[in-house]
Amino acid sequence: MTPEDIAQSLIDINPKLDRELLIKTLIFAIDAHKGQLRKSGEPYVVHPTNVGKTLAELKMDTTVIAAGFLHDVVEDSEYSTEEIEEKFGTEIAEMVDSVTRISDIQKGIDRTARTFKKFLAYVSKRPQIIAIKLADRLDNMHTLQYLAPERQKAISKETLDFYAPLAHRLGLYSFKFELEDLAFKYLNPDEYTAIEKHLELTSKEREEYIQSIIFPLNIKMNLEQLDCDIRGRSKHIYSIYEKMKARGCKIDELYDIFAIRIIVNQIADCYMALGYLHNLWMPLYSRFKDYIAVPKPNLYQSLHTTVIGPQGKLVEVQIRTKDMNETAEYGMAAHWAYKFNLKKEELEKNMDWVNKITKMQNEISNSTEFLGFLHESLLPEDSYAWTPQGKKITLPLGATILDFAFAVHTDLGLHCLGARAAGKVLAIDASIPTGETIQILQSNSQEPQETWLSMTKTQKAQNTIRHWLRKAITTQSMLLGKKIWQKELQNLKISNVNSLYDADICKAFKVQNINAFYENLGKGEIPLKDIFTFLKQYSDHSYAWSKLKLFNVFSSSEDSPISIGYNERFLLNYASCCNPLPGDLVKGILKSGKGIEIHKEDCKILNKIPQDQLLALQWEEPEAAEREQKCVLRVEATGRVAIEKDIFSTIAKYNALVKKTIFESKEGRVNGRIDLLAFNSAQIKNIEQSLQTVAGIRKVVVS
């Protein structure tokens, strides 16, 4: 085909395209790629031509299609971005430059994180390059068979992990399904072939069944004088595989591997069609979703319902208007056409997800954490709930009350005790009830625990918890380090410290400031014998050498003990060999990076530990609000398997110490008494509220 023929074929798709610019950029691309061949052996220019055709089908304007024709020119020829700008203008040149830079990053080290960060940085400025990059990836996936097997798998994995979810996020479902199937073909060829073969063998039977649904539906709609278009299709291979995996069944055990789509003229007709459909076949109300009233973040709107169709088989049906169907086919790209002919507020809404990601990549410096957030943000968002103020919060499926609290406000998450929804009190790790209004319960005395990380699904919540814990551990490490240091000064009878003292410490222990020294000491990074070696030059030598002769190395184990308690809780690790409790006579071992491992004073393990590694400890008398508290929980529950295990698991989440338990079962009921030792009243309150949400528990009393 000549450039004129190609341009005409695109204008046939979209009559509003600029013929002259299409021909001009095509001629330039043909010249730039002259003599270049694809791995398949065909002329390279076929690839950018295919990209342009896909962009035309997405209703992109001429500048985007032109950039698609030219997207590989700078990378694969001697032409520069400046030359493209001179010939075709700044807008086209910037889009080509963005796609080129992304391709360059993909060839480098740390490819995944850097590529996607750059990709999103460029997307925030020119969203159209998403369409170019997706069209580019789609065409490359169609010629993947010509690459080496390891490259096939690597590219397919990247496609399944990033590009297919990206297409889903933007509502480009035709892209999503095709990319998924092509990637799945190379990642799991045996399963792909088995499903493909089954679909081929059953195609006639399946088509007959689809017609057995469409035929009576058409009659019903005609009788009701509802103008509509009814279509049926089989589901895509990868989505069938996902259903098999989720349900743990074989393909011949799946009945809902096809879907019916009803296209109507206006929104009111959607609900009328739904009623007529439910008149014909019984619906499964648990699988009904109204994405018209509450659209998906990618602007998708439709009614989804599942009915028990002919022969008792489940049939999924989607009902939507023609405009909704166009958005479902082309996603946000349908709104990007013709140079964003949208009002400012509509454009900002369409770009909300991209802007959110761009903001977060500036806040998350760690590549692994950013990729986790990116992967999570690309997941389908099927869970949503409302705040008491009427704000909708959308989260990935499986998100918890803690995730919801952090999504509403950081402080609300940090002090979350649980939630109240639909008349029930929910624990912090409970899944959010979709569609409900959720009131978060909070207390200023509540603080994050390490166990919270396993209770959350969203990267925002996890990053905030990690940041808070790092800050808390740093603060507690400095306080503990200062305690250890001051105690050693006291033990060695050192009282006169001159003005150069801090500088001497920092130099000796190779830290930038005195707080960093205290932090390292509190975390156990500095051995106690190194402290003595440094301090003996400031001490009374006869005293120091007498201790050295007695223990060979300095030990603080026989000197004044260090007080520990709630303010060091993140650095206190209770040894499992002797199970110490607050209030016991204890000694400690400084563990590098962990703080103090606490043992009972008579623990046999201590006999194997060098004296220079031991710390004399005592439990401090804390503030009233932070004082360790003994309490008794009395639990009444219906008898069921593993009820005791669930009770202990709930208590363990809050780091309270169980001292004694008594459980009695009688006539289908369980009565339990649990003696606890907690750091503060907030812990006890949290445990009480969480236990009330455990299935089977009828009553919890604290005394």
For 270-311, strand residue ranges (E) read 282-283, 289-290, 303-308
Under DSSP, is residue 702 helix (H, G, I), strand (E, B) or coil?
strand
What's the CA gap between 445 and 132, in Å, rounded?
51
The end-to-end CA distance of the chain, in Å, is: 86
Those residues with Cβ within 8 angstroms of residue 341's Cβ, 6 or more apart along the chain or in another chain: none
φ, ψ dihedrals at 444, nearest 5°: -65, -25
Q: Which residues pair with 590 in a beta bridge?
A: 596
The pair of three-digit structure tokens given for residue 122, joined into one six-digit string = 């460029």
> Identity (one letter) of the amino acid at 532?
F
φ, ψ dihedrals at 138, nearest 5°: -60, -45
What's the CA gap between 366 and 642, in Å, rounded?
40
Alpha-carbon distances, residue 589 vs 361, 610, 615 (angstroms): 40, 10, 6
Q: Is the dihedral of CA 641, 647, 652, 654 positive or negative?
A: positive
Q: How many residues does the chain have?
A: 703
Residues annotated as catalytic are 75-76
The pair of three-digit structure tokens given for residue 644, joined into one six-digit string = 């005791």
What's the CA gap between 152 and 150, in Å, rounded?
5
What's the CA gap between 673 and 694, in Å, rounded?
16
Those residues with Cβ within 8 angstroms of residue 208's Cβ, 6 or more apart along the chain or in another chain: none
What's the CA gap between 46 and 140, in Å, rounded?
11
The pair of three-digit structure tokens given for residue 11, joined into one six-digit string = 């204008």
Q: Which residues pair with 573 in a beta bridge?
A: 597
φ, ψ dihedrals at 226, nearest 5°: -105, 115
Among residues 648, 644, 645, 670, the alpha carbon closest in space to that of 658 is found at 648
> Identity (one letter) of the amino acid at 289?
K
What's the CA gap between 269 and 650, in Å, rounded?
49
Place of tokens 């789509």: 261
> Identity (one letter) of the amino acid at 640?
R
What's the CA gap between 201 and 437, in Å, rounded?
48
Helical spans, DSSP H, in 332-457: 333-340, 344-350, 352-363, 367-378, 401-408, 410-414, 452-455
What's the CA gap between 398 and 453, in Å, rounded?
14
> Identity (one letter) of the amino acid at 569?
R
